[in-house]
Structure 1
Amino acid sequence: MKNILFKISFTVSSLFLILLTSCSEEFLERPPQDVPVDAEFYKTDEQVLAGSALLYNKVWFLYNDKASFSVGDFRGGTMMSVYNYPDMVQFNTTSNSQMNYDVWKSLFNTIGQCNTYIINVNKYAGPSVNPDIKKQTIAEARFMRATAYSLLTMNYGAVPIITNNFTLVGDTTQVRNTPESVWKFITKDYRAAAEDLKETPLQTGRITKWAAEGMLARTYLNRAGVGRTEGNRNQVFLDSTKYYAERVITRSGAKLEPKYADLYLTKNENNAESLFSLQWLYTGTYSSTTNTAPSSLAFSPSIANGDGWGGDFSATWWILSKYEGINPVVGSPGMMEGKTLDQRLKATFMLPGAHYPEITQTLEDGTEQELRFPYSQGAEISYASTKKYVVGKAKDNAGLAGFHTYEINTYMLRLAEMYLAYAEAAVGNNGSTSDTKAIQYFNAVHTRAGLNAIQGPLTFDRIFDERMIEFSVEAMAWYDLVRLHYYNPQKAYDIISNQDRSAFAIEPDRIPNPTSWTFTKTPWVTVRSYAANDGNFLIPIPATEMSQAPNLGKTPVDYYAGKQ
């Protein structure tokens, strides 16, 4: 259940119905016009909190809707679509791609709204506003701004750093800033947030000091490779990763959810593993404060609420091959078979015959049953459809689900990431590590999935594969590849070029209650993977933005050059 003040932030919309909606104009054309700027608004703690609450959902709506998984998973290689999103699946995103524009627009909109919120609170907050509330909510805005900038620079490289959108009016000099200076800016925002946020949530679902320190662990892991294409990462930043990750693990009070599948149930949102989640509200109708991603991810309307448009979404052959127990068939190229004890597979992707008692399925004759994922006998194409974030009908969610409106939160940072970030930083610039703490942290995630603990040593490849499985359909795979590309681009290219992202069929050994599956590549598909290189690794700036702001084409500059 959401905290009541998240509800208030929606119900007070009579004061500012236009709050935080996406702008139709390009991001450099004007400052956000849709935030509460009335001088009489920020006069109470409740009003200040209500404004910042929408930084947890509405500003992220467009990114969360489709852009996040289209880039994070389709481009990252953990998900594929046979007939849709070809620019992302085929690693051929252009400056005119719709999802490209949605990513750019939504993230800069988030930044603009955070900037304007900070300015408005500083300018209008009345004397009756508790100074701690003011400090907390400004820290939240800086945290959200840093998060948006980290996603922007990992997708586009050099991007313009903007802290006051009002100064952009009539400004023809805005240029991009170097990735190194963008990362420095991100770090400063997160450090400031960590300083000002409390160790316990002000309200359920709000971020804490530990969320900011967790993001610092992620940031330092990313920064460790920036500009270091020789293959060695910055050891100081790797050590900082370990420092912050361990602080979160040992001091935050966060705990791994005992059962992986329970992470993705509406009733378990804001659980002990969640460090930062987008806080969506069931509104009963289509709204930018509600989670619409399940509408696109569900494989069929039969398990949804009149939506369910992800019929051709599937796990890739590549990610399925990473699950322990699913192996190539000797002597039969293009086939693999087996089963896995890894509980994350069933919680992330659906295989034929899989049973999900928590989701209601409507059959063709109108009767209803617990979901058993369909099996198409003899099909040359079938799917390992998306399960994660697919939560079913209203009746499966205490009424908190409907057509294009779901309340299930979106994870942006989980404790599991801290365990694996520590392990990756411990491997660092070595081929492997026997660090007992790193192995212990890795095994905490690994054994939670029902797998046997490893004894070590621990390698980068082992951790990379674990992250791919653990965070599939959480829009993270692409960003792991970008982090690798910073310091070892050829390894990143090799991984992508060897990701099989095309069609296959799945055959269970029996129906119902299958015990294993055979996977066969669709024979008439000739192109199954796509090459990556320096020319197509970064996403190009959308053409509409380049036409509106041609200075974005100029050589990037250091944001901090000449500054104290």
Structure 2
Amino acid sequence: MKKISYKMYLIGLVAPIIFLSGCKKDFLEKPPTDRITDASFYKTDEQVLAGTAGLYNKVWFDYNDKASYNIGDFRSGTTFSAYNDRGNVLFNTTAENGENNASYRSFYQVVAQSNLTIININNNAGEGVSPTVKKMAIAEARFMRALAYRYLVMNWGEVPVITNNLEVLTDTSLVRNTVPSIWRFITREMRAAAEDLPATAAQPGRLTKWSAEGMLARFYLARAGVESTGPTGRNQTFLDSAKYYAQDVIANSGLQLLAKYEDLFKYPYDNNKESLFELQWVYQPGQYGAQNSTPAYLNFSPDIANGDGWGGDKGATWWMLSQYEGMQASGDTMIKGRTLDQRLKATYMLPGASYPEITQAMPTGKQKLIFPYVAGDVNFASIKKYVIGKAEDVGGQAAQQNYPNDTYMQRLAELYLIYAEAVLGNNASTTDATALEYFNKVHTRAGLAAYTLTNPATGAATPLTFDVIFKERVLEFAMEGMAWYDLVRLHYYNPQKAYAILNSQDRGFYNITPDVFPNPTQWTIKKTTWATTDRKVNANAGNFRLPIPSAEITQAPNLTRPAVEYP
């Protein structure tokens, strides 16, 4: 297991993170300087912008590498690994778990680098730095710090809030802060970022006011549950704030949903008109840490990869496949059918599905990918999202564990669904016209008929409910590291419902058989009869939160002390 000193990663990097030239994104390129120090850097707008560039990728690397889907999707039950990462799949993540450690470390690296960036700009920015750029750069750092703490508080609960890493070097009294006070801090930080970020990105891929407002909508929806009085008592003021910020982004940002869902993950999709914020990865031969390594672990086979392709045992869970409209359950052991929901093909690969944008190496040569049918009693609906193919499919911009495609951190589709849930609020259901309109923008983009408030066949009322919106979020954002945090939001105010969802999921082996190959018209999915164990998890109050890594407890025993309010 990779270990790092608690204090070392809280200190972070004193110098700005700088990258080699040749990156595809201009603002990640190395500035024209050889050796720099903090005192001599930050003297021009260009240098200040270069000083925040690393906040967009390298500090997030350990989280993005494997931890993002281990926590966000394996733990939530949308996706599983048959033979690896079983601690997260089976919901028994330990304090020694590698991805638990990697993500905790990565988030505090984001915090540390953000803190030091703010300090360095304030202390060293010269007269050649314009007030506008200085304000924007500090806002970028505050945005990143707030977002990192959002992940920390949702995964580990009470954690220390640190805003000056240099001060903690000799501080032996550092303790954790309470969950509500952390949420107050990060909401305040994100509001400040929204005030100081520009409405139009200074460079493609950089944060804007709308990025911060999108996160504020997300934060307030979660915070409404943090400060609730029970399952039907979410804080109404925060629900209203979530609705307000979601509406402002929807109405005024100029962002639009892409016409086709599958195009969200067809390279090059980076920084498209639906994107609010992405981690900005770059292809850098011979360099490590600024590239996207995740596709290496998702590619189902070396046949479609670049010297990697280690995702053959990863795929949609039985539970996830059962969520798609048209995939009809037959008893408890079989699903049969097809779906008009275009998100299935764009998220997971079923036997016979075609992906002409990806090259597949075959014994007889190369062909456009047709996901193979492996006969037998175990196979997988392998992962498609973030899988972009061989180097030849992306203009030569890929190599082993070195891919150029960005990671979405927030898309406009989420704002539509946040609005709908915020309007629903503490009600059992809603027929609000705008909430339905926004819900249907996401739902119909997937290729499905518009959701209606009455059942066309029976005339029965079918208003929007939490379950309907939650399911839509699962379908829309599967394999984007999102579902776990939706369950954490729910757990804040209704833990029993969160446990019930998790404990109802089947995460076991199955077999998928197409009716014809290729280009099937339907599939039959049967549970593997001999695989009767490890199909369900037992989520409860004792295992819902992630444990703080044991190495950190050893080095900072004050982390076991009771949490206190953050100022």
So what's the TM-score if we normalise by structure 1? 0.93
Corresponding residue of 1:340: 339
Residues 346-386 of structure 1 show CA distances to partners (whole Å, capped at 9, x for unaligned) of 00000001000000000134x10000001012x11100000
Corresponding residue of 2:360: 361
Shift of 1:229: 5.7
- From 382, 385, 388, give the equivalent of 2:385: 388
Q: Distance in 2 between matches of 1:79 and 1:300?
A: 17
Answer yes or no: is the 8 Å Cα contact 1:29–1:548 preserved in 2.
no
Indicate the larger mover: 228-237 or 24-33: 24-33
Shift of 1:31: 1.2
Answer yes or no: is the 8 Å Cα contact 1:28–1:168 preserved in 2.
no
Corresponding residue of 2:11: 31
- From 372, 380, 390, give the equivalent of 1:374: 372
Indicate the larger mover: 350-359 or 517-526: 517-526
Corresponding residue of 1:13: none
Answer yes or no: is the 8 Å Cα contact 1:139–1:196 preserved in 2.
yes
Corresponding residue of 1:86: 86
After superposition, residues 162-311 of structure 1 pair within 5 angstroms as 162-228=162-228, 230-231=230-231, 232-311=233-312
Shift of 1:154: 0.4
Q: Distance in 1 between matches of 2:243 and 2:197?
A: 21
Q: Which amino acid aligns with 2:491?
A: H
Residues 291-325 of structure 1 show CA distances to partners (whole Å, capped at 9, x for unaligned) of 00111111011001111111100001111100000
- Secondary structure of the residue that 2:277 maps to in structure 1? strand
Residues 204-262 of structure 1 show CA distances to partners (whole Å, capped at 9, x for unaligned) of 00010011001000000000000436212001100101000000000000000111110
Answer yes or no: is the 8 Å Cα contact 2:511–2:525 preserved in 1.
yes
- From 425, 431, 443, give the equivalent of 2:440: 443
Q: Distance in 1 between matches of 2:334 and 2:152?
A: 38
Structure 2 CA distance for partners of 1:430 and 1:30, relative to 1, 3 Å: closer
Indicate the larger mover: 261-270 or 319-328: 261-270
Answer yes or no: is the 8 Å Cα contact 2:10–2:109 preserved in 1.
no
Structure 2 CA distance for partners of 1:491 and 1:134, relative to 1, 3 Å: same
Structure 2 CA distance for partners of 1:432 and 1:27, relative to 1, 3 Å: farther
Answer yes or no: is the 8 Å Cα contact 1:108–1:148 preserved in 2.
yes
Structure 2 CA distance for partners of 1:141 and 1:85, relative to 1, 3 Å: same
Residues 479-520 of structure 1 show CA distances to partners (whole Å, capped at 9, x for unaligned) of 000000000000000000011111110000111211100000
Corresponding residue of 1:552: 559
- Secondary structure of the residue that 1:401 maps to in structure 2? coil
Q: Distance in 1 between matches of 2:343 and 2:540?
A: 31
Shift of 1:526: 1.6
- Secondary structure of the residue that 1:361 maps to in structure 2? strand
Corresponding residue of 1:502: 508
Alignment of 1:520 with 2:526, yes or no, is yes
Answer yes or no: is the 8 Å Cα contact 1:301–1:309 preserved in 2.
yes
Corresponding residue of 1:8: none
- From 410, 415, 426, give the equivalent of 1:413: 410
Answer yes or no: is the 8 Å Cα contact 1:228–1:487 preserved in 2.
yes
Q: Which amino acid aligns with 1:166?
A: L
Q: Distance in 1 between matches of 2:434 and 2:528?
A: 44
Answer yes or no: is the 8 Å Cα contact 1:286–1:403 preserved in 2.
no
Corresponding residue of 1:6: none
Structure 2 CA distance for partners of 1:203 and 1:29, relative to 1, 3 Å: closer
Shift of 1:333: 3.2
Q: Distance in 1 between matches of 2:511 and 2:94?
A: 30
Residues 374-419 of structure 1 show CA distances to partners (whole Å, capped at 9, x for unaligned) of 1012x11100000000000111111222111111110001000000
- Secondary structure of the residue that 1:224 maps to in structure 2? helix
Corresponding residue of 1:15: none
Indicate the larger mover: 223-232 or 156-165: 223-232
Q: Which amino acid aligns with 2:552?
A: E
Corresponding residue of 1:114: 114
Answer yes or no: is the 8 Å Cα contact 1:27–1:105 preserved in 2.
no
Shift of 1:27: 4.2
Corresponding residue of 2:19: none
Q: Which amino acid aligns with 2:531?
A: V
Q: Distance in 2 between matches of 1:167 and 1:446?
A: 49
Shift of 1:284: 2.1
Q: Which amino acid aligns with 1:344?
A: R
So what's the TM-score if we normalise by structure 2? 0.93
Shift of 1:23: 8.9
Residues 94-117 of structure 1 show CA distances to partners (whole Å, capped at 9, x for unaligned) of 111111111110100110010011
5+ residue gaps, structure 2: 17-36, 454-462
Q: Which amino acid aligns with 1:499?
A: Q
Shift of 1:28: 6.3
Shift of 1:34: 4.8
Corresponding residue of 1:458: 464
Shift of 1:267: 1.6
- Secondary structure of the residue that 1:369 maps to in structure 2? strand
Structure 2 CA distance for partners of 1:204 and 1:234, relative to 1, 3 Å: same
Answer yes or no: is the 8 Å Cα contact 1:285–1:402 preserved in 2.
no
- Secondary structure of the residue that 2:378 maps to in structure 1? coil
Q: Distance in 2 between matches of 1:404 and 1:285?
A: 11
Q: Distance in 1 between matches of 2:102 and 2:9?
A: 16
- From 479, 487, 492, give the equivalent of 1:486: 492
Aligned length: 535
Alignment of 1:397 with 2:394, yes or no, is yes
Q: Which amino acid aligns with 2:505?
A: Q
Identity %: 57
- Secondary structure of the residue that 1:258 maps to in structure 2? coil
Q: Distance in 2 between matches of 1:444 and 1:510?
A: 33
Structure 2 CA distance for partners of 1:325 and 1:76, relative to 1, 3 Å: same
- Secondary structure of the residue that 2:410 maps to in structure 1? strand
Shift of 1:271: 0.5
Q: Which amino acid aligns with 2:237?
A: V
Corresponding residue of 2:26: none
Q: Distance in 1 between matches of 2:295 and 2:527?
A: 28
Shift of 1:33: 3.6
Q: Distance in 2 between matches of 1:356 and 1:40?
A: 51
Q: Distance in 2 between matches of 1:335 and 1:258?
A: 33
Indicate the larger mover: 454-463 or 350-359: 454-463
Answer yes or no: is the 8 Å Cα contact 2:440–2:451 preserved in 1.
yes
Answer yes or no: is the 8 Å Cα contact 2:9–2:108 preserved in 1.
no
